[in-house]
Amino acid sequence: MDDPLQKLTALFAKFPGIGGRQARRFVYFLLSRDETELKRLGAMIADIKRDITQCPSCQRFFPKSDLIKESKECKICRDSARDGSLLIVVEKDNDLDSLEKSGTYEGHYFILGGTVPNVEKEVPRFIRIDALKKIVAEKTKSGNLQEIILGLSLTPAGEHTISYLRTILSPLLANTKVQISMLGRGLSTGTELEYSDSETLKNALLNRHKE
């Protein structure tokens, strides 16, 4: 297959959520743009890693222009106004973006980079488990950390990852004051009681709160 139309279509078809037909629309879309725009997009993609770096603490991607001389960390990790006693472990950068946009979390992050599929031996291939262990060890030693929130989605893969992380983290935290916590389960905005599954109803009752 030496047809560049098909080759580029195949590359776009690897993008998350993109099928063959939409990938082809992307190619035709690009062919309708002018040369300058294509050169610019192509260069940005080729060089994106030159301009973006990854935070050694939380693992998120951020622009190098946010770096300061004294640190390799991202703005969030460097921010002394944030609550260093909390560390939330999330799956991906988009999850961090959603939490930041909601303005409801003031602690630190760790981006796992994926989830653990159901039965799997080579976990490190899927998630940044060594980096997580290292950061937890550091933060535990420095004496500040009090709680690690396992902030995974309530999907089967997310729940499997939660139980995997527990097996790994529990022994590391055995002689510390650091506790593992989970996101609250219950009714989410818009949920109707009648159509809720038993698990959600159970959690809505268990986690009820008085005022």
For the segment 20-79, give every residue that binds its own copies (CB under 8 A). 21-22, 24-32, 35, 38-49, 51-52, 54, 61-63, 65
Q: How far is the CB of 5 from its own copies (least distance, A)?
A: 6
Give the sign of the dihedral formed by CA 73, CA 75, CA 76, CA 79.
positive
CB atoms within 10 A of CB 57: 22
**Sequence-ordered list of residues with C-beta below 8 angstroms from that of 159, at least 6 positions apart, any chain:** 152
Q: Which is nearer to its own copies, 56 or 186 (CB)?
A: 186
Q: Is 142 in the site for its own copies (CB under 8 A)?
A: no
Q: How far is the CB of 37 from its own copies (least distance, A)?
A: 8
Q: Is 194 in the site for its own copies (CB under 8 A)?
A: yes
Amino acid at the residue 122: E
Q: Is 187 in the site for its own copies (CB under 8 A)?
A: yes
**Segment interacting with its own copies (CB under 8 A) among 67-75, 76-84, 120-128, 181-189:** 181-189
Q: Is residue 116 within 8 Å of 161, Cβ to Cβ?
A: yes
Q: Is 177 in the site for its own copies (CB under 8 A)?
A: no
CB atoms within 10 A of CB 160: 17
Q: Which is nearer to its own copies, 71 or 94 (CB)?
A: 94
Q: Is 144 in the site for its own copies (CB under 8 A)?
A: no
Q: Is residue 161 within 8 Å of 152, Cβ to Cβ?
A: yes
As a whole number of angstroms, the distance between CA 211 and CA 206 comes to 15
Q: Which is nearer to its own copies, 71 or 191 (CB)?
A: 191
